[in-house]
Amino acid sequence: MILHTPRTRPDPWSLTRQHAPSRWLIPFLAFEYVSDWAAYLLSNWSLLEVLEYLGTFSVLIGVIFYFSESGDRVKQRHYQAWQVINTAQGKGGSGGRIEALQELNADKVPLVGVDASSAFLQGLNLHGANLMRSNFSAADLRNGNLIAVNFTLANLHSANLRDSSLDHGVFANADLTDADLAGSSLVGADLDGTFLDGADLRLADVKDIRWQLIESIKGANVAGVRNPPEGFRTWALAHGAIENPEATE
């Protein structure tokens, strides 16, 4: 903030000129003299101080409006993210959906019913997302961070979840038919009512999964599953699962 302290009235020109060490410096001294007078006159002009206060006040008003409209900006950002997701619905590729989905999830927006079927979403990070009734059929979700995601009633038919982190996910009544879960981590996952027919579970980590109420596992490949709960492998094979470590990648 500029402090408007009144300046001392400059000496008369005749007196100031006497201080010039040489004649060729007089033009520069004259310029300095005029500047001193201008500074003197302006320092006593209250309008400048008023204008400065008004400028500071306008900045304050701008800050207030900025924060008061933050909610609207968040809504606009969410609207744009949903536009990206819905516009690309049913199409291949990413189409900006990775960033849009992650942004919405970071803001704790439920993603219930989102349709990202056939999308290319490798490395997607939706930790803790609510994806109930979502559609990721035939989507490429390899190497994704989908820990603690709620996939209740989700359509993951033929989804590629290879090497993804699915720990503590809820797959209640979800369709994982023909899904590629090879090398994925399903530690503590809830598979109550899940359809796993034809799923590739080779080398998947199934430690502490809830498996007793799996709806169907016929044709699922459980070769080399890691940390299987007691009784799971025997039950799976008895209900139509297979063990084929040489299956086509």
> How much of the chain is in helix, strand and coil states, percent to nearest 5?
35, 10, 55
What pLDDT, on a 0 to 100 scale, did the predictor assign at position 246? 82
What integer pLDDT is reported at residue 219 of this predicted model?
A: 97
pLDDT of residue 18: 58
Helix (H) or strand (E) holding 102: helix 97-106
pLDDT on residue 42: 62
Highest mean pLDDT among 36-50, 60-74, 115-129: 115-129
Segment 100-109 shows an average pLDDT of 96
Domain ranges (residues) in the chain: 13-68, 91-249
* Superfamily designation of domain 91-249: E3 ubiquitin-protein ligase SopA (2.160.20.80)
Task: Write the pLDDT tens digit of every residue in 69-98.
Answer: 555 678 899 999 999 999 988 788 888 999
Mean pLDDT in the chain? 85
Amino acid identity at 8: T
Angle value at C-alpha 35, between 33 and 41, nearest 5 degrees: 105
pTM listed for this prediction: 0.71
Evaluate whether 203 touches 224 at the Cβ level (below 8 Å): yes
Question: Is the pLDDT assigned to residue 65 strictly greater than 60?
Answer: no
| Cα distance between residue 86 and residue 3, in whole Å | 56
**Contact (CB, 8 A) for 102 and 120:** no
Is the torsion defined by CA of 94, 98, 104, 105 positive or negative? positive
pLDDT of residue 37: 60
Higher pLDDT, residue 190 or 71: 190
| Distance from C-alpha of 249 to C-alpha of 245, rounded to nearest angstrom | 10
Residue 61, Cβ neighbours under 10 Å: how many?
A: 10
Instruction: Report the pLDDT value the prediction gives residue 188, as an integer from 0 to 100.
Output: 98
pLDDT digits (tens, 9 = 90+) for 148-187: 999 999 999 999 999 999 999 999 999 999 999 999 999 9
